[in-house]
Amino acid sequence: MFVGKITRMAQRISRREFVKAGTAAGVAAASARPGFAQAPTVLAPKTVKPVVIASANGNKYKNGGPRSAVEEAFARMTRGEDVLDAVIAGVNIVELDPEDDSVGYGGLPNADGVVQLDSCCMHGPKKRAGGVAALEGVRTPSLVAKAVLEQTDHHLIVGQGAQDFARAMGFKIEEDLNTENSRRKWLDWKRRIDPKHYLDPAKRTEAGDRARREMVAEGLLDAEHVYGTINCDGINAKGEICGVTTTSGLSWKIPGRVGDSPILGAGLYLDGDVGAAGSTGRGEANLFNLSSYLIVEGLRRGLHPKDAGMEALKRVAANTVEKRLLNDRGHPMFDLKFYVLDRQGRHAGLAMHGGKEKSYAVCTEAGPQTLACDVLFEEADTE
């Protein structure tokens, strides 16, 4: 009788275990069905070949030193420095170089002749970010953005508040960040526009854009620096990803205008478990679509960096409907570039249009390179 009771208890236990196992299997099967929203697991190798990518100016300007931005970032990163410290040290070279008038010192000023700078940075392992916008008087806004990340509970500080914060953090505040080059170009632009600059917004925009195009056509203004920026992202051998974007913004912009560069999800976005994306080009188009965030989510779904970036370009093109922004083919007349790096160390540069200098910078153990971007539309942009 005692043995029979034990047998019946064992049967009940077995039935309970069977039901539990069946339920667990059912949940697992259901979660795998299309009706259940679940991001795929991103599998990354335990070790990654280190790589740094950047916009093309990241392998062009050296500010009189031995290395370009991507070389400096790669050298620091591979000798053990924090990835964010490394990529910021890289872009500092460009920010401080007076020959690059798209960022930092000597960046092309706003309509009033004042250099206003924007930047943001993100740290993948720490899952933290910081940014500044419309900052005046500091040559290296990327370092101020890093201070926001490290010293505050905020992601973005702007205008006078950003300058006050920088001063409090010990940064040198300069009266004027113009160089002879940036001031000469601003004066040339100013002479070309309607002298009644602010009285008619429609005429102001038309005159300002026309003067910008004329200066590009005459070779006085680099077409790549109309919307000037540098983005730089890196991944080390441990798979740690960080990134930074810094800019002087749209040349001759309305004072106080802020583009995509300091905005998380637009000028820069990353997830340390997935990858990173940054941008240069027309900030307004990028802001409207939060393209960097979209690209990283594409990487999360398993897309290759090239495919994720191309998907974002197509989204921007589909959302550009104003006639003034379209060329005779119905395509956006402005350019927009994305720089994409995934958790496996794969990378890509994407551009809205073909034409010259559609390239991006890369540095690996093989050294620095400037590679061609994949383009959505083969024709050159007409802005």
Q: What is the pLDDT of residues 312-356, one digit of tens each?
A: 999 999 999 999 899 999 999 999 999 999 999 999 999 999 987
Q: Name the residue with higher pLDDT: 340 or 20.
A: 340
> In the structure, what pLDDT confidence band is assigned to residue 76 with cuts at 50, 70 and 90?
very high
User: Can you read off the two tokens belonging to residue 280?
Assistant: 């240069």
Alpha-carbon span 98 to 104, nearest angstrom: 8
pTM: 0.82
Same domain, 21 and 90: no
Three-state helix/strand/coil letters over 120-135: EEEECCCCEEEEEEEE
Q: What share of the chain is helix, strand, coil (3-state, %, to 5)?
A: 40, 25, 40
Alpha-carbon span 253 to 79, nearest angstrom: 40
Residue 123: pLDDT above 50? yes
Do residues 280 and 294 touch, judged by C-beta distance below 8 A?
Answer: no
Same domain, 180 and 277: yes
Residue 4: pLDDT above 60? no
Alpha-carbon span 345 to 276, nearest angstrom: 10
Query: Could you report the per-residue pLDDT of 161-192, keeping only the tens digit for each?
Result: 999 999 999 999 999 999 999 999 998 888 78
User: How confident is the model at residue 27, as a pLDDT?
Assistant: 38
Residue 306 lies in a domain: yes
Same domain, 162 and 21: no
CA 81 from centre of chain: 21
Q: Name the residue with higher pLDDT: 209 or 225.
A: 209
Same domain, 105 and 177: yes
Query: Could you report the per-residue pLDDT of 223-242, keeping only the tens digit for each?
Result: 555 556 999 999 999 999 99
Residue 154: pLDDT above 50? yes
Residue 32: pLDDT above 60? no
Tell me the three state secondary structure of residue 231.
strand
Tell me the three state secondary structure of residue 149.
helix
Domain that holds residue 316: 51-380
Residue 94 lies in a domain: yes
Task: Give the mean pLDDT of 75-88.
Answer: 98
Pick the closest to residue 361 from 67, 136, 152 (CA basis).
67
Same domain, 2 and 119: no
Residue 46 lies in a domain: no
Alpha-carbon span 219 to 225, nearest angstrom: 12
> In the structure, what pLDDT confidence band is assigned to residue 143 with cuts at 50, 70 and 90?
very high
Residue 148 lies in a domain: yes
- Span of 13-27, 95-109, 256-270, 317-331 with lowest mean pLDDT: 13-27
Same domain, 120 and 155: yes
Residue 80: pLDDT above 60? yes
Residue 40: pLDDT above 60? no
- Span of 22-26, 213-217, 303-307 with lowest mean pLDDT: 22-26
Mean pLDDT score across all residues of the chain: 86
Same domain, 228 and 147: yes
Collect all residues with Cβ–Cβ distance below 8 Å to 24 and sequence separation of at least 6: none
Alpha-carbon span 117 to 139, nearest angstrom: 8
Residue 208: pLDDT above 90? no
Residue 108 DSSP class: -
Burial 129-141 (b: 16+ CB within 10 A, else e): bbbbbbbbbbbbb
Percent of the chain with pLDDT over 70: 79
Strands 367-372 and 359-364 come out as: antiparallel
Same domain, 374 and 299: yes
Active site residues: 229
Same domain, 55 and 34: no
Same domain, 27 and 62: no
What DSSP element (H or E) covers 248? strand 241-250
Percent of the chain with pLDDT over 90: 72
Pick the closest to residue 53 from 20, 98, 26, 83 (CA basis).
83
> In the structure, what pLDDT confidence band is assigned to residue 380 with cuts at 50, 70 and 90?
confident
Task: Give the mean pLDDT of 122-141.
Answer: 98
Measured between alpha carbons, how far is residue 363 from residues 53, 167, 324, 340 in Å?
Answer: 6, 34, 38, 14
> In the structure, what pLDDT confidence band is assigned to residue 382 with cuts at 50, 70 and 90?
low
User: How confident is the model at residue 371, as a pLDDT?
Assistant: 97
Same domain, 2 and 89: no
Residue 20: pLDDT above 50? no
DSSP per residue, 47-112: S---EEEEEGGGGT--TTSS--HHHHHHHHHHTT--HHHHHHHHHHHHHH-TT-TTSSTT----TT
Same domain, 56 and 7: no
Measured between alpha carbons, how far is residue 195 from residues 98, 129, 189, 199, 215 in Å?
Answer: 29, 42, 11, 9, 18
User: How confident is the model at residue 10, as a pLDDT?
Assistant: 46
C-alpha R_g of the chain: 25
Domain total for the chain? 2
Alpha-carbon span 104 to 171, nearest angstrom: 14
